[in-house]
């Protein structure tokens, strides 16, 4: 009897489909028989046994069927499966990095790995690159197929690994020799992997139950890589919200039908029930989906890499994370705040961390899916000016817009607040800040500066899998795994803000001013910098064509992140020409780009330098964030939600400082949401607590709303013309503070 979910066919239908589909696949290779030589013999043997072998009745059991299928191809198994079974190294490297973090917390415990369905032992040989086999107290390879195990025996004998044991057992009921006298079931097994084997097991429920029973309940990792398809998305059929469980790949009806039938011919089941039960039984830590390149452009078979843990591992972390963050519950069910007393954690991978859980849980919804990438790769506010007025201490609880994370990292370095809430509706902004936090925790300074200072790292993918992955959520890992070329050339030319940098570089190039840009960034004093600006670059920046481009609403939003309401506010105070003039003219004679005004240096060069960069990119700032097991960054909580929803989820008087940047400029005058946010801010702040904001207007319309709510307003900086810069950015016309006085 076939496992539930497999398609049923008669013997005649099987034979007909077998011949038609596999002959077509062989023909798609486009390799005439007469050009085949000895080098193709392994592939020919594989095609014969796996694709063209005449139909034979199924054997009576799984072991007999496997022995019969692999008996003629065991010797060439590894040589013919590299392109077919891709993703194994990714799975193993992720398992190794997560296991390394777990092992660091209890280095004296016994370390045991069980590779189920490991066949020829190639997984164990591959793992030696990421986690030395000699570091394990015991490694067990479990498989039912004797022809493949014979290859493994010879491989391990050559390697001389005495701690590796081969067991010819059924995965549904495997027994480790040491369970009788060293440990009991459920103790000591730290790692179990299934590489393209779960889809071949008839009793997959029993296999996963046995795996669950065997893993250590508190310090263990499960790794799976396998082929798959899915059903029509549940959330699409019923218009439900989509849990962010790492399952984002969708299939057409033809893809689901074709791949399930094709693999069913070899008793390989791609029914989604196996993966569903896997993710039901275990908590997801990482998940990534891809298509292999078995035959490029013609045959690309879907597979997934999944890393998980027993759900018992992080029960304490779930409650502690929510308690520490002082959050009642945000964006967990339909974007509505819930009370902590009634909160029930969904079966969702965000709760299953190995490293520090900075990211608060959330459900993907239609709003989040509008954001395909981050808008801001850096923060366009001056944190030093913020620190002059925030009066932060280690006892403060801060809430700020996530953005690129530069400002909040500056606060952590300068004052080390007890809590830093970062809020952004765009999940990609959270992915970016998560990456920065994890990289600070896991990397050395030179690696970190290469990524976020120079904006490029030639080995980012390896860093992601081997060092960074254990410290970021599954959603963030999936985003950066999909965009692993972000650091291949110029990171700061990515995202919407990258368009502004790229286009301005193009404008200077077309104007023949590229060398003057470099000269400006290398000017040794303000007099030289001012001369270059007024003589060579100001005529380019303030020419009518550039001003018209800056004025266009599409460019304002897609490149500069300026929404229509904010654009109207700056136009109401004067024209675009006046706004740009007042922003840029005073900077050339006030702040030196080479040694501190890093905002414009980044915009002109596309990267930072060691002499001119945000505080978190300096060697001393990085060391401060990394000190004491990264204690300073453990204060971070990243929320993927609207400010109003987060405000509503926080308890009364739980904040001391709130920095909303230019957020309120996005609303139209008279917006009820502005009044709702201000009302919640008054509730959240204790007496003496303050809200800070910047605006494109000298006197923003919502100042009156703060005053009406009982806040005392203070103007911290207002531009009056092109003579004086109010900070190192000077891009906003005003900077205000509202204090709760009673």
Q: What is the CATH number of the domain that holds 677?
A: 3.40.50.150
Within this chain, do residues 402 and 460 fall inside the same structural domain, yes or no?
Answer: yes
Within this chain, do residues 106 and 250 fall inside the same structural domain, yes or no?
Answer: yes
Within this chain, do residues 648 and 506 fall inside the same structural domain, yes or no?
Answer: no
Q: With beta carbons less than 8 A apart as the criterion, state whether 218 and 317 touch.
A: no
* Per-residue pLDDT at 558 exceeds 60: no
Range with the lowest mean pLDDT among 354-363, 514-523, 599-608, 684-693? Answer: 354-363
Within this chain, do residues 265 and 301 fall inside the same structural domain, yes or no?
Answer: yes
Place of tokens 């909303």: 660
pLDDT of residue 217: 86
Mean pLDDT for 462-472 is: 94
Residue 15 lies in a domain: no
* Per-residue pLDDT at 438 exceeds 50: yes
Range with the lowest mean pLDDT among 247-256, 268-277, 338-347, 548-557? Answer: 338-347
Rounded CA-CA distance 571/480 in Å is: 38
Pairing between β-strand 363-364 and β-strand 242-243 as defined by DSSP bridges:
antiparallel
Question: How many distinct structural domains can be found in the chain?
Answer: 3
Range with the lowest mean pLDDT among 8-17, 371-380, 479-488, 681-690? Answer: 8-17
pLDDT of residue 556: 58
CB-based contacts of 137, cutoff 8 Å, min separation 6 = 110, 111, 112, 163
Assign 4 a pLDDT band (cuts: 50, 70, 90): very low
List helix spans (H) across 406-563: 406-414, 427-442, 445-452, 460-463, 474-482, 495-510, 514-521, 526-532, 538-541, 544-551, 553-558
Assign 237 a pLDDT band (cuts: 50, 70, 90): very low
* Per-residue pLDDT at 1 exceeds 80: no
Q: With beta carbons less than 8 A apart as the criterion, state whether 591 and 585 touch.
A: no
Range with the lowest mean pLDDT among 191-200, 342-351, 400-409, 662-671? Answer: 342-351
Within this chain, do residues 443 and 408 fall inside the same structural domain, yes or no?
Answer: yes
* Per-residue pLDDT at 186 exceeds 60: no
Residue 31 lies in a domain: no
Pick the more confident residue, 227 or 16.
Answer: 227
Mean pLDDT for 652-657 is: 96
Residue 53 lies in a domain: no
pLDDT of residue 500: 80
Range with the lowest mean pLDDT among 133-142, 265-274, 710-719? Answer: 265-274
> Smallest Cα–Cα separation from 126: which of 97, 93, 158, 81?
93
Pick the more confident residue, 231 or 490.
Answer: 490
* Per-residue pLDDT at 97 exceeds 80: yes
Give whole-number Cα distances, 436 to 114, 194, 368, 432, 673, in Å: 34, 32, 21, 6, 31
Question: Over the chain, what is the mean pLDDT?
Answer: 81
pLDDT of residue 301: 82
pLDDT of residue 110: 84
Assign 360 a pLDDT band (cuts: 50, 70, 90): confident
pLDDT of residue 124: 95
Within this chain, do residues 724 and 577 fall inside the same structural domain, yes or no?
Answer: no
Within this chain, do residues 245 and 128 fall inside the same structural domain, yes or no?
Answer: yes
Within this chain, do residues 199 and 90 fall inside the same structural domain, yes or no?
Answer: yes
Residue 607: other Cβ atoms inside 10 A: 18
pLDDT of residue 241: 39
Residue 289: other Cβ atoms inside 10 A: 20
Per the structure block, which two tokens stand in for 469? Answer: 């992955």
> What is the DSSP code (8-state) at residue 49?
I
Cα–chain center distance at 574? 42
List helix spans (H) across 534-656: 538-541, 544-551, 553-558, 564-572, 576-584, 598-605, 619-630, 643-649
Residue 260: other Cβ atoms inside 10 A: 21
Give whole-number Cα distances, 300 to 82, 148, 290, 296, 700, in Å: 14, 26, 9, 7, 55
Phi then psi dihedrals of residue 662, to 5 deg: -105, 20
Q: Of the candidates 605, 624, 650, which is a domain's last residue?
A: 605
Q: Of the candidates 605, 639, 654, which is a domain's last residue?
A: 605
Mean pLDDT for 203-214 is: 92
Residue 364 lies in a domain: no
Residue 34 lies in a domain: no
Q: Of the candidates 581, 605, 629, which is a domain's last residue?
A: 605
Within this chain, do residues 107 and 215 fall inside the same structural domain, yes or no?
Answer: yes
Q: With beta carbons less than 8 A apart as the criterion, state whether 352 and 313 touch.
A: yes
Q: What is the percentage of the chain residues whose pLDDT exceeds 90?
A: 51
Residue 559 lies in a domain: yes
Mean pLDDT for 659-664 is: 94
CA-atom Rg of the chain in angstroms:
29
> What is the DSSP code (8-state) at residue 535?
I
To the nearest 10°, report the CA torsion of 131, 133, 137, 139: 110
Q: Is 502 helix (H, G, I), strand (E, B) or coil?
A: helix
Within this chain, do residues 479 and 627 fall inside the same structural domain, yes or no?
Answer: yes
pLDDT of residue 333: 33
Within this chain, do residues 392 and 304 fall inside the same structural domain, yes or no?
Answer: no
Characterize 538-562 residue by residue with b for buried, 16 or more Cβ atoms within 10 angstroms of its Cβ, and e for exposed: bebbbeeebbebbbeeebbbebbbb
Residue 526 lies in a domain: yes
Place of tokens 């890393």: 307
Within this chain, do residues 160 and 217 fall inside the same structural domain, yes or no?
Answer: yes
* Per-residue pLDDT at 452 exceeds 50: yes
Could you list the residue range(s) of the whole structural domain that residue 161 is in?
81-311
**Predicted model pTM:** 0.84
Mean pLDDT for 120-149 is: 93
* Per-residue pLDDT at 661 exceeds 60: yes
Per the structure block, which two tokens stand in for 517? Answer: 């840009």
Place of tokens 């006892």: 395
614 beta partners: none
pLDDT tens-digit readout, 42-70: 555 555 555 555 444 455 666 666 656 66
* Per-residue pLDDT at 518 exceeds 60: yes
Per the structure block, which two tokens stand in for 669? Answer: 């005058």
pLDDT of residue 396: 96
* Per-residue pLDDT at 112 exceeds 90: yes
Cα–chain center distance at 466? 14
Cα–chain center distance at 469? 8
pLDDT of residue 553: 63
Residue 59 lies in a domain: no
Place of tokens 């850096």: 378
Per the structure block, which two tokens stand in for 148? Answer: 């493949």
Q: With beta carbons less than 8 A apart as the criterion, state whether 410 and 461 touch.
A: no
pLDDT tens-digit readout, 267-296: 777 778 888 899 889 988 998 888 877 666
Q: With beta carbons less than 8 A apart as the criterion, state whether 190 and 102 touch.
A: yes
> Smallest Cα–Cα separation from 321: which of 629, 636, 630?
636
pLDDT tens-digit readout, 378-434: 998 999 999 999 999 999 999 999 999 999 999 999 999 999 999 999 999 999 999
Cα–chain center distance at 158? 40
Instruction: Order the strands of the 655-659 sheet from edge to edge.
Output: 636-640, 419-424, 397-401, 655-659, 685-695, 734-740, 711-718
Pairing between β-strand 302-310 and β-strand 164-168 as defined by DSSP bridges:
unpaired
pLDDT tens-digit readout, 520-543: 999 999 999 999 999 999 998 888
């Amino acid at each position: 009897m076939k496992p539930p979910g497999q398609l049923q066919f008669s013997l005649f239908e099987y034979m007909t489909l077998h011949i038609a589909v596999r002959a077509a696949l062989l023909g798609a290779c486009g390799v005439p028989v007469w050009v085949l030589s000895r080098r193709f013999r392994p592939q020919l043997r594989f095609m014969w046994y796996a694709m063209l072998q005449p139909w034979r009745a199924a054997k009576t059991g799984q072991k007999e069927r496997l022995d019969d299928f692999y008996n003629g191809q065991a010797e060439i198994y590894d040589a013919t499966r590299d392109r077919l079974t891709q993703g194994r190294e990714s799975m193993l490297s992720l398992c190794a990095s997560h296991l390394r973090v777990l092992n660091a917390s209890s280095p004296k415990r016994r370390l045991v790995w069980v590779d189920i369905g490991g066949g020829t032992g190639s997984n164990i040989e591959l793992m030696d690159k990421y986690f030395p086999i000699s570091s394990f107290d015991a490694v067990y390879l479990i498989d039912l197929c004797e022809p493949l195990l014979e290859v493994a025996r010879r491989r391990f004998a050559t390697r001389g690994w005495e701690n590796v044991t081969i067991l010819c057992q059924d995965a549904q009921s495997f027994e480790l020799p040491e369970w009788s006298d060293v440990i009991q079931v459920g103790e000591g097994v730290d790692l179990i992997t299934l590489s393209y084997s779960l889809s071949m097991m008839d009793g997959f429920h029993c296999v996963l139950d046995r795996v669950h029973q065997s893993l250590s309940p508190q310090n263990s990792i499960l790794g799976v890589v396998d082929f798959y398809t899915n059903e029509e998305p549940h959330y699409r059929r019923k218009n439900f919200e989509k849990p962010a469980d790492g399952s984002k790949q969708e299939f057409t009806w033809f893809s689901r039908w074709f791949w399930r039938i094709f693999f069913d011919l070899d008793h390989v089941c791609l029914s989604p029930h196996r993966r569903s039960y896997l993710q039901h039984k275990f908590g997801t830590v990482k998940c990534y989906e891809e298509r292999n390149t078995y035959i490029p452009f013609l045959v690309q078979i879907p597979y997934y890499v999944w890393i998980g843990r027993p759900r018992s591992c992080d029960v304490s972390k779930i409650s502690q994370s929510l308690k520490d963050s002082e959050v009642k519950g945000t964006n967990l069910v339909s974007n509505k705040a819930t009370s902590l007393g009634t909160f029930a954690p969904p079966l969702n991978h965000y709760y299953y961390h190995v490293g520090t859980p900075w990211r608060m849980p959330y459900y993907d919804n239609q709003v989040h899916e509008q954001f395909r990438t981050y808008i801001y790769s850096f923060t366009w506010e001056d944190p030093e000016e913020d620190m002059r007025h925030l009066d932060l201490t280690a006892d403060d609880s801060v809430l700020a817009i996530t953005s690129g994370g530069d400002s909040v990292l500056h606060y952590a370095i300068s004052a080390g607040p007890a809590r830093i809430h970062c809020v952004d509706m765009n999940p990609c902004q959270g992915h970016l800040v998560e990456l920065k936090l994890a990289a600070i925790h896991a990397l050395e300074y030179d690696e970190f500066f290469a990524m976020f200072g120079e904006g490029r790292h030639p080995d980012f993918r390896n860093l992601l899998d081997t060092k960074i992955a254990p410290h970021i959520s599954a959603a963030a890992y999936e985003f950066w795994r999909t965009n692993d070329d972000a650091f291949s050339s110029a990171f700061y030319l990515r995202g919407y803000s990258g368009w502004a940098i790229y286009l301005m570089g193009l404008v200077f190039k077309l104007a023949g001013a590229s060398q003057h840009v470099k000269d400006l960034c290398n000017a040794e004093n303000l007099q030289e910098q001012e001369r270059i600006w007024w003589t060579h670059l100001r005529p380019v920046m303030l020419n009518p064509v550039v001003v018209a481009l800056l004025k266009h609403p599409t460019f304002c939003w897609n490149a500069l992140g300026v929404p229509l309401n904010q654009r109207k506010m700056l136009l109401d105070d004067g024209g675009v020409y006046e706004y740009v003039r007042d922003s840029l003219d005073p900077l050339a004679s006030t702040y030196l780009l080479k040694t501190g005004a890093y905002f414009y240096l980044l915009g002109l060069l596309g990267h930072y330098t060691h002499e001119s960069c945000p505080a978190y990119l300096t060697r001393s700032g990085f060391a401060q964030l990394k000190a004491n097991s990264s204690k300073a960054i453990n204060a971070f909580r990243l929320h993927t939600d609207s400010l109003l929803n987060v405000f509503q989820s926080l308890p009364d008087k739980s904040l001391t400082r709130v920095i909303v940047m230019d957020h309120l400029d996005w609303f139209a005058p008279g917006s009820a949401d502005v009044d709702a946010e201000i009302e919640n801010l008054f509730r959240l702040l204790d007496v003496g607590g303050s809200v800070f904001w910047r605006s494109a207007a000298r006197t923003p319309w919502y100042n009156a709303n703060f005053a009406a709510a009982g806040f005392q307003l203070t103007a911290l900086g207002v531009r009056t013309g092109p003579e004086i810069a109010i900070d190192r950015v000077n891009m906003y016309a005003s900077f205000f503070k509202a204090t709760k006085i009673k």
